[in-house]
Amino acid sequence: MNKISLKKNGSIAHNGKIAEDDPLMYLSFGITLEDGYTLRSFFQLFEHYEILSRLNAFFATFREQYEESPSEHCLYDGFDYLEFAKIVEMVGFPGEPRLDIYHSLRGILKDETFELKAIALDCLLDMPLKTGALKHIVFGDSVDVFTFETAYTLFEFIDGVLWDLSFQGTLMACELRR
């Protein structure tokens, strides 16, 4: 698999050189995140490569929130870091089996995993962001969890992070309706 490095300033490096244009050619490339990569780095990716913002319908909403956020110290002390992971769930075995494959962006504190739903984007932007292992979960008579090393493509990363962030604030929105 071809590889790129996502730099903490939001740029893409391929073969040791910063990609100046045409980031679409890298969508199927595997990614590594530079040490110090944050959620802010993720949003800076779109500042460097505007065309990538058209990959996901949710981006416009997040761009607004990102631009209105402070330029530094956007941290949430309830997590050590954020983790982007791939989940494969085998559901309904024995019985009618179903396989669900999805990506997840979660907060990690020590060995515990937390959803980000109730946490504002401006509290997360400067949190370290890492890629995690693939978790294969088998639901049946018992629940078995297997962990595997995996790779992520640039497209999976962009779409998966934005998809998971799209659920953010749902608790607050529910409270407003009451």
pLDDT digits (tens, 9 = 90+) for 154-171: 999 999 999 989 887 543
Residue 83, strand partner residues: 106, 130
pLDDT digits (tens, 9 = 90+) for 110-139: 989 899 988 999 999 999 999 998 877 666
If you compute the radius of gyration of the chain from its CA atoms, what whole number of angstroms results?
A: 17
Q: pLDDT exceeding 90 applies to what percent of the chain?
A: 60
Phi-psi region of 155 (alpha: psi -120 to 50; beta: other; left: phi over 0): alpha
Under the banding of pLDDT at 50, 70 and 90, the label for residue 142 is low
Q: What pLDDT was estimated at residue 45?
A: 97
Which residues, including other chains, have CB under 8 Å from residue 111's CB and lie 6 or more apart?
none
Task: Count Cα atoms within 13 angstroms, Cβ side, for 14.
Answer: 17
For residue 141, CA distances in Å to 83, 87, 95, 101, 135 come to 29, 20, 10, 20, 19
Coil, helix or strand at residue 176: helix
Whether 107 and 168 have beta carbons less than 8 Å apart is answered as no
Q: Which amino acid is at 144?
A: D
Question: What pTM value is reported for the model?
Answer: 0.86
What gap in Å lies between CA 155 and CA 145, rounded to an integer? Answer: 26
Which residues, including other chains, have CB under 8 Å from residue 10's CB and lie 6 or more apart?
41, 42, 43, 44, 45, 46, 47, 48
